A and B are shown apart, each in its own frame.
Chain A
Amino acid sequence: MSARIGVVTFPGSLDDGDAARAVRIAGGEPVRLWHADPDLHGVDAVILPGGFSYGDYLRCGAIARFAPVMESIVDAARGGMPVLGICNGFQILCEAHLLPGALTRNQHLHFRTRDQLLRMEAVNTPFTNNYVAGQEVLIPVKHGEGRYVADQRTLDELEATGRIVARYIGNPNGSMRDIAGVTNEAGNVVGLMPHPEHAVDLLTGPSVDGLGFFTSILKHVAGAPA
């Protein structure tokens, strides 16, 4: 039986369809989850997709954090369920305090859309185990508020404990220490500003470098004790 990967749709989500498609291309079974339904339908992992949930009102991710489905996801994540937040999903995970730091307005104030080179670092997470540390990957970014900030102590701790998932090669937004993605202390929650779901086939993406995030979670679920 293939792994069941939940993909949440909030009002204003954009990339839920692409995330579900990426799960399918990787060989998993995408399960669409609805923001107003707290039932996670027995999924093995959850993806919070990109977009502009609740219009990005107040702060990106600030209102989505209180959606009924998020209460279940926060509980499940604290219990060890793998959760990947992409772009707006990363912002939601920071607002929900499942990940440290915050995503703020790009330093140069411009929305940035481009194919972005990244260097993978933490390859021990459920979403990155198919990469090798130091591997360079080409994955699109598209955001106006992707500048990762945290206090110096938090940044030092993230580096010392190997919790930086990926760094930009050529920083597109002014992120502190070129951070493109981080993981939590337990390693089951991952936030990533770039969009791996847009790099899973050569017809629609600049590479297939993003597919590894989705094959990684399937491998993780297959190998996890029942």
Chain B
Amino acid sequence: MARVVVDVMLKPEILDPQGQAVANALPRLGIDGVASVRIGRRIEIEFTGEPDLDRAREIADKLLANPVIEDFTVRLEETDSGESAR
């Protein structure tokens, strides 16, 4: 079975204060050398039938991402449920 994965990220020019807060916390873990952190959202969609990338793109465009501030990518991903049909 395959699922569709949608990744939503703030556009590069949009400030990400959450990412900045995480980046600022890293030195407290003893980690340095990190230039920046940006936080996005991963959405997994499972269709009842065959995975439908066009449908997923429509869902992403209309609901999952706000095109004013966010970009998205859509891809297929094999699930690792032990009993694959093939």
25 contacts between A and B (CB under 8 A): A58-B63, A59-B66, A62-B63, A62-B66, A63-B63, A94-B68, A100-B68, A101-B68, A102-B66, A102-B68, A104-B14, A104-B15, A104-B69, A105-B17, A105-B18, A106-B17, A107-B17, A109-B18, A147-B15, A149-B15, A149-B68, A149-B69, A150-B68, A151-B13, A174-B15
Tier of interface size on chain B: 10 to 19
Decide if B76 is an interface residue (CB 8 Å cutoff). no
Decide if B21 is an interface residue (CB 8 Å cutoff). yes
A102 to B13, CA, bound (A): 14
How close is A65's CB to chain B, nearest CB, in angstroms?
9
A106 to B66, CA, bound (A): 17
Q: Considering only CB atoms and an 8 Å cut-off, how many residues of chain A contact the other chain? A: 21
Interface SS of chain B: loop
A149 to B63, CA, bound (A): 19
Closest residue of chain A to B69 (Cβ to Cβ) is: A102
Decide if A177 is an interface residue (CB 8 Å cutoff). no
Decide if A66 is an interface residue (CB 8 Å cutoff). yes
A115 to B73, CA, bound (A): 41
| CB contact list, B5-28 vs A, under 8 A | 13-15, 17-18, 21
Please, what's the 1-or-0 string for B48-84, where 1 marks a CB less than 8 Å from any CB in chain A? Answer: 0000000000000001101011000000000000000
A184 to B65, CA, bound (A): 22
Of the listed residues A104, A108, A109, A147, the one surrounded by the most CB atoms of chain B closer than 10 A to its CB is: A104
Please, what's the 1-or-0 string for B16-51, where 1 marks a CB less than 8 Å from any CB in chain A? Answer: 011001000000000000000000000000000000
A101 to B69, CA, bound (A): 8
Closest residue of chain B to A100 (Cβ to Cβ) is: B68
A104 to B20, CA, bound (A): 14
A151 to B11, CA, bound (A): 11
B64 touches A58 (CB 8 A): yes
A133 to B53, CA, bound (A): 50
A149 to B21, CA, bound (A): 19
Closest residue of chain A to B63 (Cβ to Cβ) is: A62
- B69 partner residues in chain A, CB cutoff 8 A: 102, 104, 149
Closest residue of chain A to B16 (Cβ to Cβ) is: A105
B66 touches A107 (CB 8 A): no
Closest residue of chain B to A103 (Cβ to Cβ) is: B69
Decide if A16 is an interface residue (CB 8 Å cutoff). no
How close is A147's CB to chain B, nearest CB, in angstroms?
8
Please, what's the 1-or-0 string for A148-164, where 1 marks a CB less than 8 Å from any CB in chain B? Answer: 01110000000000000
- A147 partner residues in chain B, CB cutoff 8 A: 15
| CB contact list, A84-103 vs B, under 8 A | 94-95, 100-102
- B64 partner residues in chain A, CB cutoff 8 A: 58
